[in-house]
């Protein structure tokens, strides 16, 4: 997904956060605040920092502290289906042959595709990104830009555009 820039006053950031937290309620343990499923980084490629288990003020981190915050949009289920914050499921990838979409697996079970969001000079800057979960024998967890989201490209852009005011 190409970078999207939206004037801060034209973006419904509270609605975007609420929708993301609603999605995460089904992804994190019931003992944790859903915001625990969101991470922030100082710069692209960094090891992600999780918020407190009891929750954290995501919007303050963006607006006041200038952090880059990862908002999850999709995670893979064991059957390869992608469950998404827009309320839809996509895939498994082989089901998308008729639409011409790639059969490649977008993400692993420990990864999430979403949006890396930052606020600069009164603009919300949104890029598609991957939060790679890492593993014991694999690379360390990280958040990187993920410009080609395959079959999620259009749903992700539509999701973001739904929070643009006016």
Hey, CA dihedral for 77, 126, 116, 44, is it positive or negative?
positive
Helices vs. strands in the chain: H and E counts, helices first:
3, 9
- How many whole angstroms separate alpha carbon 75 and alpha carbon 85? 9
Q: Is residue 116 part of a domain?
A: yes
Q: Is residue 146 part of a domain?
A: yes
Q: List pLDDT tens digits, range 7-58.
A: 999 999 999 999 999 999 988 888 889 998 899 998 888 889 988 888 889 9
Q: Please, are residues 81 and 89 in contact by the beta-carbon 8 Å criterion? A: yes
Q: Is residue 28 part of a domain?
A: yes
Residue 156, domain extent: 4-161
Retrieve residue 87's tokens: 């309320």
Q: Is residue 166 part of a domain?
A: no
pTM of the full predicted structure?
Answer: 0.87
Number of domains in the chain: 1
Percent of the chain with pLDDT over 70: 87
């Amino acid at each position: 997904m190409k970078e999207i820039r939206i004037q801060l006053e034209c973006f419904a950031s509270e609605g975007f956060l609420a929708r993301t937290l609603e999605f995460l309620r089904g992804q994190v343990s019931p003992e944790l605040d859903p915001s625990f499923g969101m991470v922030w980084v100082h710069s692209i490629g960094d090891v992600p920092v999780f918020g407190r288990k009891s929750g954290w003020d995501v919007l303050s981190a963006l607006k006041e502290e200038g952090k880059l915050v990862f908002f999850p949009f999709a995670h893979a289920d064991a059957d390869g289906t992608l469950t998404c914050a827009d309320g839809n499921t996509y895939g498994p990838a082989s089901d998308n042959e008729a639409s011409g979409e790639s059969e490649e697996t977008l993400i692993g079970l420990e990864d999430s595709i979403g949006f890396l969001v930052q606020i600069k000079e009164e603009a919300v800057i949104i890029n598609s990104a991957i939060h790679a979960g890492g593993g014991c024998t694999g690379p360390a967890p990280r958040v990187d830009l993920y410009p080609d989201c395959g079959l999620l490209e259009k749903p992700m852009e539509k999701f973001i555009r739904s929070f643009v005011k006016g």
